[in-house]
Amino acid sequence: MTPDRPGSPAGRRRALRILVAAVAVAIIPAGAFGWSAIAEVGDELRSGRLREAKLLSAQVDQFVNDAFFDLELAAAAIASGPADDLALRFKNEPDSPSLDEATLATLLFDERGQILKTKPTAFVAAQEDAMRGSEIASVVAESTSSISPPFILGSGKEVVAALAVPIYDSSGDQLGMLVGLIDLSGPVMAGFVEPARRIGATGHADLVDDRGMVLASTNPAHVLSAGDHPEFYAEAAELRTPVVRSVPHDAEEGDSDSSPRHVMAWVPLRNAPWAVALGASEPETMASVTQLRRTLVATGIASLVVLLGGLAVAFRVWHPNSDGRATEM
Lowest mean pLDDT among 91-100, 146-155, 156-165, 243-252: 91-100
- Is the CB of residue 109 less than 8 Å from the CB of residue 177? yes
Q: What percent of the chain has pLDDT over 70?
A: 59
**Taking Cα atoms as reference points, which of 260, 258, 264 lies closest to residue 280?**
264
Phi/psi region, residue 79 (left: phi>0; alpha: psi -120 to 50; beta: rest), is alpha
- For the chain, which residues make up each domain, given as ranges? 42-55+187-285, 80-183
Alpha-carbon gap, residue 40 to 314, rounded angstroms: 38
> How confident is the model over 183-199, as pLDDT tens digits?
888 888 888 898 888 88
Distance, in Å, from the CA atom of 95 to the CA atom of 119, rounded to the nearest integer, reads 9
- 288 pLDDT tier (thresholds 50, 70, 90): very low
pLDDT digits (tens, 9 = 90+) for 171-181: 888 888 999 99
Asked whether the predicted pLDDT for residue 225 surpasses 70, the reply is yes
CATH no. for 42-55+187-285:
3.30.450.20
Q: Which of 9, 319, 11 is nearest to 327 (CA)?
A: 319
Q: Which secondary structure element, helix H or strand E, spans residue 98, and what is its range?
A: helix 97-102
Q: Give the pLDDT confidence score for residue 167 in this predicted structure.
A: 92
Indicate whether this model's pTM tops 0.85.
Answer: no
Q: Which of 290, 314, 304 is nearest to 28 (CA)?
A: 304
Q: What is the separation, in whole angstroms, between the first and last Cα of the chain? A: 27
The verdict on whether omega for the bond into residue 248 sits within 30 degrees of 0, i.e. cis, is: no
**Angle 128-89-82 (CA atoms, 0-180°, nearest 5)?**
160
pLDDT of residue 293: 47
Split at pLDDT 50, 70, 90, the class of 268 is very high
pLDDT tens digits, one per residue of 61-112: 999 999 999 899 888 888 876 556 666 666 656 555 445 677 888 888 888 8
Q: For residue 211, what is the DSSP state?
A: T
**40-69, pLDDT tens digit by residue?**
545 666 777 888 889 999 999 999 999 999
Which CATH number describes the domain made up of 80-183? 3.30.450.20
Asked if 42-55+187-285 and 80-183 have one fold, the answer is: yes
The residues, any chain, with a CB within 8 Å of residue 140's CB and separated by 6 or more, are 109, 113, 130, 164, 177, 179
